[in-house]
Amino acid sequence: MTADVSVAPARWQRAAIERIARQTPRVISVFLRTRLEAHVAGQHVDVRLTAPDGYQAQRSYSIASAPGAELMELAIERLEDGEVSPFFHDVARPGDTIEVRGPIGGHFVWRAQDGGPIVLIAGGSGIVPLMSIVRSWSAAEAKTAVLLIYSARTWEELVFRDELLVTRARDSDFGFIATTTRGPRHRPEDFDRRLDRSLLRGVLAQWGRSPRDVYICGSNVFVEAVASSLVLEAVPPGIIRTERFGGKD
């Protein structure tokens, strides 16, 4: 792994909400017009909201859009007890402005020159930074094999599902396996159970390649289970990058 200094601008900038689109029952995409530098797939931005009395709240959101896209897309899951995500779901509308800084992060990133093959494993809204990688890969000239394994509760809750299916249909170098833990599978190659060690072993064997890098993003419980399964399946720990949210339970 090479270290890349990713220098985040210290300054907060205003960003305009251009469009909001519903993705799934719990996830919306917020499209921002910003003057931030182009990001690297996998990076995030910090978002800051300010109340009339000056009180501020900050959160980090992964970027879903491809580097260089005209609008920056954040996909935001509604957290019922959240402070910031309900604002985006219930209050925000096109024309509003928020503040952003970034892009941030120099580890959970992929550039076309990094090559592959790469394995991407997402749990729920953990798809967001991986979607940026898929889009970045899709736009790249020199292609390498990519396998995305994506676990969600139901087929309806797979964020970016239709775009992933189109990418799969268009490009044989892109493998896409979905597994749904609370609803039926929809394609013969999909699963309808937890992403455990035997499922991973089977899918990787079927894929038949050795990954150069593995990216796992999701809740900590999901990431911990998947990462430890991969290590038990003799995937070198040093090639596995993780991005997690939440605690032990």
Positions that interact with other proteins (CB under 8 A): 3-12, 14, 35, 48-52, 54-60, 83, 87, 91-92, 96-99, 104-107, 220, 224, 227-228, 230-231, 237-238, 240-242, 244-248
Shortest distance, position 2 Cβ to other proteins, whole Å: 9
Minimum distance of other proteins from residue 48's CB (angstroms): 8
Kindly report the backbone phi and psi dihedral angles of residue 121, in degrees, each rounded to the nearest multiple of 5, phi listed first. Answer: -130, 120
Count Cβ neighbours within 10 Å for each residue of 169-204 and write b for 16 or more, e otherwise.
Answer: eeeeebbbbbbbbeeeeeeeebbeeebeeebbeebb
Q: How far is the CB of 32 from other proteins (least distance, A)?
A: 13
Whichever of 3 and 142 has its CB closer to other proteins, that residue is 3
Residue 173 C-beta: closest distance to other proteins, Å: 25
**In angstroms, what is the minimal distance from the CB of 28 to other proteins?**
15
Dist CA 136 CA 142 (whole Å): 11
118 touches 215 (CB < 8 A)? yes
Structure tokens at 117: 């093959």
Minimum CB separation of residue 238 from other proteins in Å reads 7
Structure tokens given for 47: 């978002």
Nearer to other proteins, 107 or 193 (CB): 107
- CB-CB contact of 57 with 49 (8 Å): yes
**Quick one: 167 or 242, whose CB is closer to other proteins?**
242
CB closer to other proteins, 18 vs 96: 96
Is the Cβ of residue 184 or residue 238 nearer to other proteins in the bound state?
238
CA distance 76 to 181: 21
**d(Cα 99, Cα 15) in Å, to the nearest integer?**
6
- Find the length of the chain: 249
Nearer to other proteins, 50 or 198 (CB): 50
